Amino acid sequence: MAWLQLRIHTSRAQSGTVEAALLAAGAASVTFEDAADQPILEPALGETPLWEAVRITGLFDAAVDTRGAIDTAAAHCGGKLPRHTWELLEDKDWEREWMQHYHPIRCAGNLWICPSWTAPPDPGAVNLLLDPGLAFGTGTHPTTFLCLQWLAAQTLSGTTAVDYGCGSGILGIAALLLGAERVVGTDIDPQALAATHRNVARNGLAVDRFPVYTPAACPGLEADLVMANILAGPLMELAPTLTALTRPGGRLCLSGILATQAETVMAAYTRDFDFAPVQQRQEWVCLSAVKAAR
């Protein structure tokens, strides 16, 4: 099935009106994009920010009456649409389109992240087979890559770990493949919990070695290793929870943090943890620490 896109350039103040106009005109979906290179890397808690200049795209069946759609949308915008264009969109399996661009990644000396549909380049290495589906975590983002590099440098034999905000399960599965005995995962997204289950099985691991829970159902424990690759705001809010999950002498790995946020995040944990030097990749950092003994 072919589709048409109606792209409209507008301002943040008018974005709600334009969205309603596109839906009234019959758009199957509406997408908001930055139109002026104004990145918002981490919104404040509870905030859904928009850029000053916004490009809003309505997706329509290719058989749509384009003139009629324009007239309907314009009527909802005071009689005239802002600058706009129609574009033809080729129909594809968009959920899988990215697969052709996702290749094996060497994260550390002997650790590779391999798409589940390709053969590992080094069969003798520790190869984590991954299909993230709709969950976060492929190893390509600097925050995940930094966490994997840190993990590969740890001694994990026989340890228990927590993967808080597990996403695709990539960090917890890497910990198991590198020697951890058991990982407990948690995520607020049901699709992430399902993706983790699938990836655990894909790597030939017993499901009971990586049980997953919503945060409210996560059992209390003191783990040897706690990992959380989320965002700075939630990491500061979760400081009491992640501290309680880490045993005295246990290790903590935090990421999803911009370099400018590192000091603020560490301040939420310094009463209980001793931090190692910050590791950075592009504008992102990974923080690692050891919990003080009682």
Query: Does 165 appear as a known binding residue?
Result: yes
Q: What's the confidence (pLDDT) of residue 1?
A: 57
For the chain, what's the residue count?
Answer: 294
The CATH H-level superfamily of 97-291 is Vaccinia Virus protein VP39 (3.40.50.150)
pLDDT, one tens digit for every residue, the chain (294 residues): 568 899 999 998 999 999 999 999 999 999 998 887 767 666 665 666 778 889 999 999 888 899 899 999 999 999 999 999 888 776 665 555 555 556 788 888 889 888 877 787 888 888 888 876 655 566 678 899 999 999 999 999 999 999 999 998 999 999 999 999 999 999 998 988 999 999 999 999 999 999 999 999 999 899 999 999 998 889 999 999 999 999 999 999 999 999 999 999 999 999 999 999 999 999 899 999 999 986
Q: What's the confidence (pLDDT) of residue 266?
A: 97
* Joined tokens for residue 38: 């104004």
Q: What's the confidence (pLDDT) of residue 201?
A: 92
DSSP string, 38-87: ----SPPTT-----SEEEEEEEEETTS-HHHHHHHHHHTTTT---SEEEE
Q: What's the confidence (pLDDT) of residue 42?
A: 63
Q: What's the confidence (pLDDT) of residue 3?
A: 82
Residue range(s) occupied by CATH 3.40.50.150 in the chain: 97-291
Query: Does 203 appear as a known binding residue?
Result: no
Q: How far apart are CA 293 and CA 235, in angstroms?
A: 22
Torsions phi, psi of 37, nearest 5?
A: 50, 60
Residue range(s) occupied by CATH 3.30.70 in the chain: 3-91
Q: How far apart are CA 144 and CA 147, in angstroms?
A: 5
Pairing status of strand 279-281 against strand 223-229: unpaired
Instruction: Reply yes or no on domain 3-91 having CATH 1.25.40.
Output: no
Half-sphere exposure (Cβ direction) of 207: Cα atoms closer than 13 Å: 9
- Separation in Å, CA 35 to CA 58, 179, 279: 15, 46, 32
| pTM for the structure as a whole | 0.72
CB 24 within 8 A of CB 73: yes
